[in-house]
A and B are shown apart, each in its own frame.
Chain A
Amino acid sequence: MAQPKYFEELLEIVKPYLPGDVDEATIRPESRFIDDLNINSSHLVDIVLDVEDRYDIRLEDTEMEEMRSVADAIHLVRTKVNPSQNQG
């Protein structure tokens, strides 16, 4: 099961973008980037680029729009990194 690994890795990517008043310990897979973590919407663009660099993948515009929570990002990464497991 790859999910914990991806969660930890995404956490590292997201952490620098957290506003000062959001504790990284409160981040859960279901946390939404903008609504729950209070991340500046323009920074989501940078998070997407960091995710692309980290996994050597490319996220299309429609996929970016669907990436609202950490879990959404994990799902996208898993599908892209290992297409054969995309039902997981």
Chain B
Amino acid sequence: MTRRVVITGMGICAPNATGLDAFEQAMFEGVSGIRRVPLLQELGFRCQVAGAPEVSEATLNTYFTKLEQKSLNCSGLIYGTLAGIQAWKDAGLELENGTDPDWDTGIIFGTSVLGVDKFRESILRVDAGQVRRLGSTSVPQTMASGISAFLGGKLGCGNQVSTNSAACSTGTEAILLAYERIKSGRAVRMLAGSCSDSGPYIWGGFDAMRVVPSQFNDTPESASRPMSASAAGFVPSSGAGALLLETLDSALERKAPIYAEVLGGTVNCGGQRNGGSMTASNSAAVRKCIRGALLDAGVRPESVDVINGHLTATAGDPAEIRNWSEALGRKGADFPYINSFKDVLGHGLAASGSMECVAAVLQFRNNRLIGNRNSNDLHPEIEALIGRDRVPAKNTSYNFNILAKASLGFGDVNACVIFKRFNP
């Protein structure tokens, strides 16, 4: 008898809303979190629109003590802490200050780089011969695992507390790592999530690679166009998402709300071979990852009802759809419904997978799919392969059971997770 793993709590700090209820409303209403960022214009960025959560002073005071806020200069840590603690509370878990850690509960909270602004502040001090002025806050805010470490202390977790990093597949990979740890009996509960800093130092490299759009600076809300013929690159974004995973037994015992079941999934890498590169996917690897996830979950390709793709709004979108189609052996009207949330969230990089998984799972309890807001001019290759109605532009009522979510990242890495409507 293998253990079943369910989701009992979720938290979110996204460009279009912070907090699960506000986010749910924003996603179904198609509220865009993409805005013009004057600083990017001043700095001469090609793409001057981006996504970053708006965190109020009052919210900061709720999650961070005055001392923690002193010298706090790490947006990813703020986003991740908000999402992580929300997911914890949403699962009905207590913020206790007991003496013993909870040995059965751990954290996998990923990121790419944490605290670039803090790192810059530190570098400037070091270069000025003022290394002693760094104080004690530089290291915890610039080590990648700063986010899992901070949450681990807040929540008193005594199981594995770690940070994974796999570029834009980080968030989905974190969920799978947490799932595997519970499934294998090494933990009862795991907080899984990911975060990404915001700002020019995170986004600059992508601007330089010209993988971001430059023609939507005056129309930020239409800048991110997954699956669209006029898609011109991904819109850089940021934020954090978090999901509390635990054994079904534990969830039932605690009478916790259950959002969905995690059936399984897998991660792999295309080895930067056969068309794969640092920045492009090896299509064979993407297909293998999708099929591997279904095999792990014990789900037949024809049972997949809904896909939430990686679909960043680049020239790679038609290839991704083709890979889904070939991996599932389904096309046209037989293809599952598919959506991408990057139209309103932008591409949250390391945070994308976790933010999108939160939104994807919210579709279960709404019995509705979130529409693809900027897909009106669907890419002709996509239309030819799966047809217009498989890419709903508007929210669509649908009582579905199986949802597949994939995230792909630089380094030719892939992650695919399978969620199922919870059925005792």
Contact = CB atoms under 8 A, between A and B. Distances in A.
A43 interface: yes
Interface in A1-50: 16-17, 20, 42-43, 45-46, 49
A41 B136 CA distance: 10
A45 B136 contact: yes
Contact of B135 (A16, A20, A49): A49
Of the candidates B70, B97, B136, the one having the most CB atoms from chain A within 10 angstroms of its own CB is B136
Contacts of A43: 136
A16 B67 CA distance: 6
A16 B137 contact: no
A46 B137 contact: yes
A20 B67 CA distance: 11
Interface residues of B, number: 10
Interface string B133-175: 1011100000000000000000000000000000000000000
Chain A at the B interface: SS class: helix
Contacts of A20: 97
B300 interface: no
B160 to A, nearest CB: 24
B136 A17 contact: no
Contact of A17 (B67, B97, B133, B137): B67
Contact of A42 (B66, B70, B97, B136): B136
Contacts of A46: 70-71, 135-137
A65 to B, nearest CB: 14
Contacts of B135: 45-46, 49
Interface string B31-66: 000000000000000000000000000000000001
Nearest to B135: A46
B109 to A, nearest CB: 22
Contacts of B97: 20
A42 B133 CA distance: 13
Interface of B: 66-67, 70-71, 97, 132-133, 135-137
Interface of A: 16-17, 20, 42-43, 45-46, 49
17 contacts: A16-B66, A16-B67, A16-B70, A17-B67, A20-B97, A42-B136, A43-B136, A45-B135, A45-B136, A46-B70, A46-B71, A46-B135, A46-B136, A46-B137, A49-B132, A49-B133, A49-B135
Given A16-B66, A45-B135, 13 more contacts: A16-B67, A16-B70, A42-B136, A43-B136, A45-B136, A46-B70, A46-B71, A46-B135, A46-B136, A46-B137, A49-B132, A49-B133, A49-B135
